[in-house]
Amino acid sequence: MSKLETATELMNLDVDIDEVAGLKTQFDVFRFVKRLAESYGYRNFMVLNLPPSTARGLAGSAIINNWPAELVSLFDREGLLQSSHVVRRLRRSTTPFFYDLEEIPAEAEGPDMREIFGRFGIVRGGCFPVSDAAGARGAVVIGGTGPSLNRQQMMELTYASIHIFDKLAEIRNLDIRPAELLTEREVDCLNWTAAGKTSAEIAEILGLSEHTVNHYLNRAAKKLDTVNRTQAVAKALRIGLIK
């Protein structure tokens, strides 16, 4: 059965759910989810483990995403996780839902949320709670300026999200311990990036050139099977490679 369809032929898109079974890496899943989101008129997405109530930031919970790195840093620096209406609702319920920041009262989201996300063109989207075989909770979230999602589309994306999260859990379980592959300098650069330092600042701290720091971070991202430094840091935090 293909085209992300069930027995009732829910979908009629050029996105084949059968592809998910053959995906081998997180980057493969990244490209699939990007194409899926775009097929519904949305540009941005994030697949994440549900942050615990004690978490102070989002970066450590993100598995894959194409949010602008500046937005992720700003979200965590401003402590927006604690005031996020979307995150609170994900923690309370396992029911998928559509959100629109223009329709959420400012006091419910915090004073800065609407302005910050509007700046990056992420004003509405769909949230799809999921869990893996071990019971760990997560979510697939798409966002942007696309059209409202109707009930059928929400059902379609819920179905797809279950497969996506399950595949990412499978890939994660097959990961080789990256600590055996990363050099000490690559780990150092990831640690300082996680602390919010820029390449120029890391270069000064470690006594390296900025070009060398960028080289280490790019190489670490590749070894960790991620597409940029933000995702490399998130994965390194998730598997305990950095603290």
Mean pLDDT of 123-146: 94
Backbone φ and ψ for 209, nearest 5 degrees, come out as -85, 155
SS (H, E, C) 61-81: CEEEECCCHHHHHHHHHCCHH
Enumerate the domain spans of the chain: 18-174, 178-236
pLDDT at residue 81 greater than cutoff 60: yes
Structure confidence at residue 114 as a pLDDT band (50, 70, 90):
confident
- Comparing C-alpha atoms, which of 239, 242, 219 is closest to residue 229? 219
- pLDDT tens for 166-191 read 999 888 776 555 555 889 999 999 99
Q: Do domains 18-174 and 178-236 have the same CATH topology?
A: no
In this prediction, residue 177 carries a pLDDT of 54
Structure confidence at residue 110 as a pLDDT band (50, 70, 90):
low
Mean pLDDT of 66-77: 91
- Whether the full predicted model's pTM is greater than 0.75, yes or no, is no
Q: Which two tokens stand for residue 49?
A: 């483990």
- Comparing C-alpha atoms, which of 48, 58, 72 is closest to residue 137? 48
pLDDT at residue 225 greater than cutoff 90: no
Rg (alpha carbons) of the chain, rounded to whole number = 18
In this prediction, residue 226 carries a pLDDT of 86
Structure confidence at residue 41 as a pLDDT band (50, 70, 90):
very high
Structure confidence at residue 10 as a pLDDT band (50, 70, 90):
very low
Backbone φ and ψ for 49, nearest 5 degrees, come out as -80, 140
In this prediction, residue 192 carries a pLDDT of 95
The mean-pLDDT minimum among 136-140, 152-156, 226-230 falls in 226-230
- pLDDT tens for 153-168 read 999 999 999 999 999 9
Select the more confidently predicted residue: 175 or 8.
Answer: 175
Domain 178-236, what architecture?
Orthogonal Bundle (1.10)
pLDDT at residue 14 greater than cutoff 80: no
Q: For domain 18-174, give its CATH number from 1.25.60.10, 3.40.47.10, 3.30.450.80, 3.40.630.30.
A: 3.30.450.80
Instruction: Look up tokens 């894959």; give the residue.
Output: 64
